[in-house]
Homo-oligomer: A and B are copies of this chain.
Amino acid sequence: MTIKDIARISGCSVSTISRVINDRPDVRPETKEHVLKVMREAGFTPNTNARQLKIQQSRSLVFVVKGARNLFFSDFLVQLQRAATLYGYNGIVSYLDENANEIDAAEKILREIKPKGIIFLGGSVSNFQNGFANITVPSVLATLVSNELNFPNLSMVGVDDRAAARTAVAHLIAQGHSKIAVLGGPATSYPSRMRRLGAQDAMENAGLTFDDKLYGLSNYDFESAYHAMNSLLARRAEFTALFAMSDVIAFGAIRALVSAGCRVPEDVSVIGFDGITMSRYCVPVMTTIVQPSEQIALQSIELLVRQIEHGAPAQTVTLQPELQQGESVCPCRRRFESV
């Protein structure tokens, strides 16, 4: 079933059919109506390949996800898909390993799929600095805002990681905690670095010093967090509170704490980051910094579409996270001899 068949059946030419398909104004309403009817009855769908071969571009957006095990991204992807559909685009997800190069991957995708735009979920600032200049399609870096990145076709949407982390740690300090462990990614990860700086800010503001020995390196998955916390415990690190750079990390860490006989929050208070659905249903309910994922998704798509359709310039949008007061943080009850 091709456009030719429809032309034959409806008694007009292929160009007319094409015009109807593309909703061009220069077709007589009755003709259009008739053609539409024939198409419907024949169950005809235009061949995407032929169309794209001709016009040299698709109606799709690609979502490049770095870190498939990160539950926050799973939650987020669903929202992105929905928003894309809303704007008449179809989203294609490309999962990348946590340590893959997202720019290389994007270049490959660009050649193969020719999407109209790309949304990166997470990514490494240095990879962008090194290679993004070669990418010319409208793009959005979601859940990450960095002033070290400045490309005319790269919008950024996310929360201010540093400020958010500051809020998180300040909350712990307000509860009387002064020995605060932090679990998160390496300095090469921009959000991790910012969140760490934010934690540091909060401590310094309170006259405390950030103790490197209380920093545990973890990927954004359960298992890694579990091990990171175990290492911290094995080192006999002393702390009454934990700032985890994601809910998933917090969750894995809590498991390790409980296994070691620590109660949460009685012995160790824990604050997470992200506000994934699970954080509201776990025991104890997670005290966490909630990223407005729905807004981030919507904004990302909106900016992208505006860049694509109206050539709008790239923008940076910083959204406000919110503190979710759960049950995993309580006032500090313990004092250590040594300061």
Q: Tell me which of A47, A255, A283 has the highest count of chain B C-beta atoms within 10 A of its own C-beta.
A: A283
Q: Is the CB of A81 within 8 A of B53?
A: no
User: Considering the complex of A and B, which 10 residue pairs feature the smallest CB-CB distances, nearest first?
Assistant: A45-B111, A49-B53, A222-B281, A74-B74, A255-B281, A49-B52, A68-B78, A49-B49, A258-B283, A50-B53
Interface string of A231-249 (1 = CB under 8 A from B): 0000000000000000000
Which A residues have a C-beta under 8 Å from some C-beta of B?
45, 47-50, 52-53, 68-69, 71, 74, 78, 81, 92-93, 95, 108, 111-114, 221-223, 226, 251-252, 254-255, 258, 277-278, 280-283, 285
Contacts of A50 in B (CB 8 A): 49, 53
Q: Is the CB of A278 within 8 A of B278?
A: yes
Partner of A93, one of B93, B111, B251, B252: B93
Q: How far is the CB of A49 from chain B (nearest CB, A)?
A: 4
**Could you list some 27 contacts between A and B, CB below 8 A?**
A45-B111, A47-B53, A48-B112, A48-B113, A48-B114, A49-B49, A49-B52, A49-B53, A68-B78, A68-B81, A69-B78, A69-B277, A71-B71, A78-B95, A92-B92, A92-B93, A222-B278, A222-B280, A223-B277, A251-B278, A252-B281, A254-B283, A255-B281, A255-B282, A255-B283, A258-B283, A283-B283
Q: How far is the CB of A115 from chain B (nearest CB, A)?
A: 12
Q: How far is the CB of A72 from chain B (nearest CB, A)?
A: 11
Q: Which residue of B lies closest to A82 (CB)?
A: B95
Q: Which residue of B lies closest to A79 (CB)?
A: B68
Q: How far is the CB of A36 from chain B (nearest CB, A)?
A: 17
Q: How far is the CB of A202 from chain B (nearest CB, A)?
A: 27
Contacts of A283 in B (CB 8 A): 254-255, 258, 283
